[in-house]
Structure 1
């Protein structure tokens, strides 16, 4: 069997289709197939070449294995070469990031994308990002220690750097930790624009090799949902931020000079209707728009290297993954579906709730990290009251200017939602911020409305911890980031080995999504040649893959 350069031959899964279909006589049948089901069976063996065959007797098109030799009455009108899951997306992705597939398991905050998940993906020659958002610096350092022991010298792993508009100092500290710990890949998410922290991560340590090419010690990924934000990441770092960093002594003059020759991020992930922070835009609209921005930036700045555009959001089954690649995605990134894998850092109770979700069982709720801005996150609606309760808290924030201005009936309502008196919540917030970000306390002392926001957002921040810990007393308050892809995944895996929590590993999820996407792509190919393919054939079912 021929294989892609630099990859291993893939063993056919035991549960997969037979190498050849058996004729009623027991002889191996290797001739052309003109029925939809027969053609679909051959198409599932996407790693083998196929011939498109015309039958003059029936005036019909069919497919045959590559080794079949045409006989009178048949004409070979086309040949399809092998199609490997490794070849989906842009081949430069694997070369640049030392991966076998153009596939990423995205960063789920608060350590939901665990070090174990990241290590398993790295071992399987794929890429994953640890979910550092929401973690205190000391825990992040501890998790990085664990990762270093798990991944060894592998370069195909990374960590999340999330935008923190309410606490720039905390964002800066995370960036400094990631650089000091030599994290090979950083995924910048939820950024509304470039900040000194993300530019520092992109620019620090860049050099010029003997051939004059700019080299970077780490790769920067950026998750965006708007073309105008994508353009900032696809452009060189802004001179004013470079001057600021240079003045602070954080980068050298040489680094600032070389930064003008490269984009801030060379991998930009288009986040469509995703879990968590989302604008809810359809992938079919925003991905082509960002690809066009990429083309303009490459032409304008004359880069000598590619900028890859990936797809995320709504990728819960092979058909969705195949469609993303067909749209021109250079790689795909999954999120929601990885929360129900064995390696995800959420409780069994939370995973069970997610596993029951349908495609419509989602809602928008105020984001904890951007509460005062009114930003929203997409969360699970079924089985939890979080979305409605968090929305009510934001209504209270809009209606009142301080904790002291809250009427007695509103305080009582907040007590029922928060589970604690307002004053007790404030004491908890104050203890937390005194350790992690004292400047927020100073602002709260000067701004009563900000103090009110801190009290109310306590619920939106703690609710994800309750879900991760499986707190039975707060089950109706679980905040579980979830998009429609979760429902699609549940429908696809129902009744299969991936429907069981014990066998639902992040690697098997990834491999099956990719395998199914390759099969569906092959089916589209033969249908575009005029071969009749029944719609049922596009329903690839999960199977254990080696």
Structure 2
């Protein structure tokens, strides 16, 4: 029932002016400002890393971010990270020598350092290698906590300059998508780890003392929903929240230099790049688009699959390296069965405590269709490639043994993809996000539709050039449409 309207006394009525025939003039477009790709991003970031463009390419694992890719990016005035995860130290050593030979003119490059919670010795071996080769920049990825290896890299070589400021020898650009991880990288190295490294003689007393005056990371790359490891973050939420966190910690700690914030995840078109810069990103990191280029270190079969995908052709699967933790990766789902099979393995792992608890039909399906080997044959391979402590644990804990057998499938699926096995095509694990689908649509009908014409430095520069032009046009048109 509609309530009765209470009349307003005439004396209290506010007079409303009569309509006027005067027309408000339409806003005129502002003069378009010329913005260049070299103008985008933080000037201090470009200056300190020796770059023309505030653009990085991420260190895709198992050498997909190949030495050739890193060299091409470096020669174009950008910063590429070598994909070292899953590579043997001997291979990484060879790749570093390749980079030094081909980027001898002072061009920028860096190496990836991926958190490996099950095998901390691998992190240690890589840091040994990086320090020996005097690698000055690393991309820290997938860290959920600070580790001794990462902190050792950060603290080794700390010194004071002539002005009394603490200067690190090794820079860290950390990929983060969660506030608690960002806080750890924005804080000084944990006292417990510093004291442990000092007691082991792995850092000096001076380095331990200076560690209190600077954060673990020089710069943070805020990773929205991306290919590979993902927390399915949203760039529009990440950037403002992380900026406030950065500013609060900087004020609390009294840091001399501001930690810069970059953007990653979902960047495959000029529109996406422009949006990130307009949100205040100091730099960009591209990923998925780069593995469908001539220089990427993966098989032609994978590139053939990737060049035709759209934005809906990726899905989520368990992360093989962090299987027991429930971590997720974003992968290609079009034309392959890997995501469905990987998710089923994780569900079986959660519901059972041993391989022997699987029903006969399920056990047969896994061995004949997924693994194409018996559990015994898979476990024999596991024994040959894992540290003895892992095998000893598996012998005592049937659930851990099941985890190792299931994780074999993830490594196998990656090998199949990298080698381009026709027989194993349905099991390809290809870590990829929808940015590549967006890129494919952007270049559809052009020469770049074919991946054989896609070169990593060229496609990144095209995105930056068009993003700069787009920003100029959009800013000139504000309020006129």
Q: TM-score if structure 1 supplies the norm length?
A: 0.81
Return the offset for 1:531: 4.2
CA deviation map 1:407-446 (0-9, x unaligned): 432321111211111111111111112xxx3332222223
The match for 2:19 is: none
Contact 1:366 1:460 in 2 (8 A): no
CA deviation map 1:49-78 (0-9, x unaligned): xxxxxxxxx956656xxxxxxxxxxxxxx6
The match for 1:506 is: 456
The match for 1:296 is: 248
CA deviation map 1:342-401 (0-9, x unaligned): 100111110111111111111110111001111110001100000001111112212222
CA distance in 2, matches of 1:260, 1:155: 31
Secondary structure of 2:284's match?
Answer: strand
Aligned pair partner of 1:477 in 415, 427, 445: 427
The match for 2:93 is: 141
The match for 1:457 is: 407
Quick check: 1:431 aligned with 2:384?
A: yes
Aligned pair partner of 1:192 in 133, 144, 148: 144
Return the offset for 1:142: 2.1
Quick check: 1:490 aligned with 2:443?
A: no
Secondary structure of 2:464's match?
Answer: helix
Aligned ranges for residues 221-370 of structure 1 at < 5 Å?
A: 221-370=173-322
The match for 2:473 is: 523
Secondary structure of 2:245's match?
Answer: helix
Consecutive unaligned residues of structure 1, counting only runs of 5 or more, are 1-57, 64-77, 533-546
CA distance in 1, matches of 2:271, 2:399: 47
The match for 2:126 is: 174
Aligned pair partner of 1:219 in 154, 157, 171: 171
Quick check: 1:391 aligned with 2:343?
A: yes
Secondary structure of 1:473's match?
Answer: coil
CA distance in 1, matches of 2:31, 2:48: 31
Secondary structure of 1:472's match?
Answer: coil
RMSD: 1.7
Aligned ranges for residues 92-107 of structure 1 at < 5 Å?
A: 92-107=44-59
Contact 2:77 2:107 in 1 (8 A): no
The match for 1:55 is: none
Contact 2:307 2:450 in 1 (8 A): no
Secondary structure of 1:217's match?
Answer: coil
Contact 2:73 2:79 in 1 (8 A): yes
CA distance in 1, matches of 2:58, 2:100: 19
CA distance in 2, matches of 1:373, 1:162: 16
CA deviation map 1:451-488 (0-9, x unaligned): 11111111111211211110100000001111111111
The match for 2:396 is: 446
CA distance in 2, matches of 1:516, 1:285: 25
CA distance in 2, matches of 1:201, 1:287: 27
CA deviation map 1:308-363 (0-9, x unaligned): 10000011100001001111111010100001011001111101111111111111
1:450–1:153 CA distance, 2 compared to 1 (3 A) = farther
CA deviation map 1:89-138 (0-9, x unaligned): 11111101000010001111110000000001111111010110111222
Contact 1:122 1:154 in 2 (8 A): no
The match for 1:162 is: 114
Aligned length: 458
Secondary structure of 2:296's match?
Answer: coil
The match for 1:31 is: none
Secondary structure of 1:370's match?
Answer: helix
Secondary structure of 1:171's match?
Answer: helix
Q: TM-score if structure 2 supplies the norm length?
A: 0.92
Contact 2:222 2:261 in 1 (8 A): yes
Quick check: 1:417 aligned with 2:367?
A: no
CA distance in 1, matches of 2:157, 2:389: 30
Contact 1:357 1:382 in 2 (8 A): yes
Secondary structure of 2:453's match?
Answer: coil
CA distance in 1, matches of 2:200, 2:182: 27
Contact 2:264 2:284 in 1 (8 A): yes
CA distance in 2, matches of 1:510, 1:217: 29
Contact 1:115 1:147 in 2 (8 A): yes
The match for 1:66 is: none
